[in-house]
């Protein structure tokens, strides 16, 4: 029996019968079938355990210890990869750009695109000069030239027929991928050349949805009139939107026929929506995608972001730089510092009161802190103040698709704004420390007998990184004013609200 033992320890279980163990023929056959049956059952059972178990509970070492043939372990790996939560490697970006504006607009793409971690293409109407020696040029996604759309009808008098080319980017991107590179694609994310994504937050949003189902995810315009003219069921292209893989496949099969049915539409995103309507897939609204169809100063919107991850911003050439006294591109770049420290918390609002001084304080983490004389309730503070103007300049606040509050006329209620000037992680304190410096503008005289926020020059905000913020139910963070002796600096702590902690006006 020496040979038998040797074989049994080296060969897979179904090969044992060849080891010369003497048996009658029918008995041997039965044995083979029995062993085969057990093995197959075992394999199916193993695969089932893996496919139903939670990804976090998988221990890769356990998988490796199991005696399996190579083909099976490859299958197991594929199943395991399927179960992994969505990450950047599962996303393909499609960026709509034009050769005319490329030289300027590519600077926005360089801010957020990371070629080592991301996959994507810039789709242009024609070739552009690649300035490979220019700064950050190697950070741009590869350029592709869109297919010819001259045969498609376009009859909108106000728009431009490039809309057809741009609406085909998702399909063209899908077609450009070979079967091997399609394998781990779960989402196609579209954006314009003047869209800036916070990709960590994009992933946080996409993880909420099953990529094997058909999803069309994005957001509306800030302008009620835009939503009436276009659609309240459309993902605005500049804010960016995500299309799950199965939906992209379904779309690519009908899109060219579909586009030909809507020659009178204006843009690319309304053409996309028209085809979505034909497929019967509605828009899944996610408020963190920002079209920013506004003019003027975004401050009011950025200082009172809804309680949802901040995913994108757009129309950066239309609005003023988000930090004063800076170019638009530099101002956006500045946001990447807090973004790296705690992307989930970027631009999240928290509201608290300095009771000794009777001030209301509103933090927009990583961006700005406002100090108001007097007490404002949270329901007032979470409404964006109208520092911006309507997309249709004649329209007023009644034409926004959300609540806003007026900029106060009372001289005493003009907020003191502190813009983020510095942010870092303090190893010793084990927390992020962001600094905000007072914006030096003249304030009207105020007769109220109360501390003047002008005495404060710097606000320091402590906040522990909280990457799992959005794994919990949405809730605004709480802030507390820390009592200190220094007169011209205010220290604030921002974090998860403690049990029973609420923002109460006193």
Point out which residues bind ligand NAG (CB under 6 A).
325, 430, 464, 487
By beta-carbon proximity to ligand NAG, the closer residue of 52 and 430 is 430
By beta-carbon proximity to ligand NAG, the closer residue of 65 and 430 is 430
Q: Least distance to ligand NAG from the beta carbon of 367, Å?
A: 17
By beta-carbon proximity to ligand NAG, the closer residue of 149 and 343 is 343
Sign, CA torsion 249/250/251/252:
positive
Instruction: Spell 298-333 as b/e; 16+ CB within 10 A means b.
Output: bbbbbbbbbebbbbbbbbbebbbbbbeeeebbebbb
Q: Least distance to ligand NAG from the beta carbon of 14, Å?
A: 49
Task: Compute the distance between CA of residue 136 and CA of residue 134 in angstroms, rounded to an integer.
Answer: 6
By beta-carbon proximity to ligand NAG, the closer residue of 22 and 440 is 440
Q: Least distance to ligand NAG from the beta carbon of 326, Å?
A: 8
Task: Compute the distance between CA of residue 296 and CA of residue 431 in angstroms, rounded to an integer.
Answer: 35
**How many CB atoms sit inside 10 A of residue 479's CB?**
25
Q: Least distance to ligand NAG from the beta carbon of 300, Å?
A: 21
Q: Least distance to ligand NAG from the beta carbon of 206, Å?
A: 25
By beta-carbon proximity to ligand NAG, the closer residue of 473 and 487 is 487
- How far is CA 88 from each of CA 111, 118, 290, rounded to the nearest angstrom? 16, 6, 20
By beta-carbon proximity to ligand NAG, the closer residue of 386 and 438 is 438
Q: Least distance to ligand NAG from the beta carbon of 485, Å?
A: 7
By beta-carbon proximity to ligand NAG, the closer residue of 291 and 493 is 493
Rounded CA Rg of the chain: 29
By beta-carbon proximity to ligand NAG, the closer residue of 325 and 410 is 325
- How far is CA 145 from each of CA 128, 136, 140, 168, rounded to the nearest angstrom? 10, 21, 15, 12
Task: Compute the distance between CA of residue 489 and CA of residue 447 in angstroms, rounded to an integer.
Answer: 23
Task: Compute the distance between CA of residue 282 and CA of residue 260 in angstroms, rounded to an integer.
Answer: 21
By beta-carbon proximity to ligand NAG, the closer residue of 233 and 465 is 465
Q: Least distance to ligand NAG from the beta carbon of 488, Å?
A: 7
By beta-carbon proximity to ligand NAG, the closer residue of 22 and 430 is 430
Rounded to 10°, the helix 102-112/328-342 angle is: 20
Pull the structure tokens for residue 353: 């009161």
Q: Least distance to ligand NAG from the beta carbon of 324, Å?
A: 7
Task: Compute the distance between CA of residue 152 and CA of residue 163 in angstroms, rounded to an integer.
Answer: 11
Task: Compute the distance between CA of residue 371 and CA of residue 373 in angstroms, rounded to an integer.
Answer: 7
Answer for the pair 225, 243: CB distance below 8 angstroms, yes or no.
no
Q: Least distance to ligand NAG from the beta carbon of 325, Å?
A: 4
Q: Least distance to ligand NAG from the beta carbon of 338, Å?
A: 16
Task: Compute the distance between CA of residue 478 and CA of residue 243 in angstroms, rounded to an integer.
Answer: 34
DSSP 495: E
Spatial strand order in the sheet of 431-438:
349-354, 359-364, 368-373, 416-426, 431-438, 458-463, 489-495, 478-482
Q: Least distance to ligand NAG from the beta carbon of 505, Å?
A: 24
Task: Compute the distance between CA of residue 128 and CA of residue 109 in angstroms, rounded to an integer.
Answer: 15
Pull the structure tokens for residue 119: 């996959």
The helix or strand, by DSSP H or E, that contains position 489, with its residue range, turns out to be strand 489-495
By beta-carbon proximity to ligand NAG, the closer residue of 382 and 466 is 466
């Amino acid at each position: 029996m020496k040979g038998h033992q040797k074989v049994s320890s080296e060969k897979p279980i179904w090969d044992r019968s060849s080891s010369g163990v003497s048996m009658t023929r029918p008995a041997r056959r039965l044995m083979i079938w029995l062993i085969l049956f057990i093995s197959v059952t075992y394999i199916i059972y193993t695969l089932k355990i893996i496919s139903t178990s939670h990804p976090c509970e998988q221990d890769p070492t356990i998988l490796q210890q199991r005696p399996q043939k190579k083909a099976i372990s490859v299958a197991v790996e594929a199943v395991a990869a399927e179960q992994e939560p969505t990450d950047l490697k599962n996303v393909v970006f499609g960026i709509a750009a034009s050769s005319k504006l490329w030289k300027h607009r590519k600077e926005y793409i360089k801010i957020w695109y990371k070629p080592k971690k991301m996959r994507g293409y810039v789709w242009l109407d024609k070739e552009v000069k690649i300035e490979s020696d220019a700064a950050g040029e190697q950070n741009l996604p590869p350029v592709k030239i869109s297919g010819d759309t001259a045969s498609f009808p376009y009859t909108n008098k106000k728009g431009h027929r490039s809309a057809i080319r741009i609406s085909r980017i998702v399909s063209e991107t899908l077609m450009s991928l070979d079967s091997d590179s399609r394998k781990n694609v779960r989402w196609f994310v579209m954006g314009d050349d003047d869209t800036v994504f916070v990709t960590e937050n994009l992933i946080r949003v996409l993880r909420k949805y099953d990529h094997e189902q058909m999803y069309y995810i994005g957001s509306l315009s800030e302008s009620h009139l835009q939503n009436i003219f276009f659609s309240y069921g459309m993902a605005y292209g500049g804010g960016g939107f995500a299309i799950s893989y199965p939906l992209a496949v379904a779309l690519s099969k009908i899109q060219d026929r579909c586009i030909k049915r809507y020659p009178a539409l204006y843009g690319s995103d309304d053409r996309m929506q028209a085809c979505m309507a034909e497929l019967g897939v509605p828009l899944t609204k996610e408020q963190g995608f920002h079209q920013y169809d506004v003019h003027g100063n975004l401050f009011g919107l950025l200082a009172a972001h809804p309680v949802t991850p901040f995913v994108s911003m757009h129309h950066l050439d239309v609005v003023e730089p988000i930090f004063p006294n800076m170019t638009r591109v530099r101002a956006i770049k500045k946001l990447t510092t807090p973004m790296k420290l705690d992307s989930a918390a970027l631009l999240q609002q928290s509201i608290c009161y300095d009771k000794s001084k009777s001030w209301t304080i509103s933090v927009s983490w990583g961006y700005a802190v406002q100090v108001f004389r007097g007490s404002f309730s949270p329901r007032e503070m979470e409404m964006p103040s109208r520092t911006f103007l309507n997309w249709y300049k004649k329209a007023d606040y009644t034409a926004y698709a959300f609540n806003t509050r007026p900029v106060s006329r009372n001289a005493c209620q003009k907020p003191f704004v502190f813009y983020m000037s510095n942010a870092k992680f303090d190893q010793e304190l084990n927390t992020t420390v962001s600094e905000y410096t007072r914006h030096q503008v003249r304030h009207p005289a105020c007769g109220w007998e109360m501390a003047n926020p002008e005495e404060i020059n710097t606000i320091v905000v402590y906040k522990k990184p909280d990457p799992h913020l959005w794994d919990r139910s949405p809730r605004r963070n709480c802030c507390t004013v820390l009592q200190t002796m220094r007169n011209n600096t205010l220290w604030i702590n921002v974090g998860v609200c403690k049990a029973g902690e609420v923002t109460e006006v006193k």
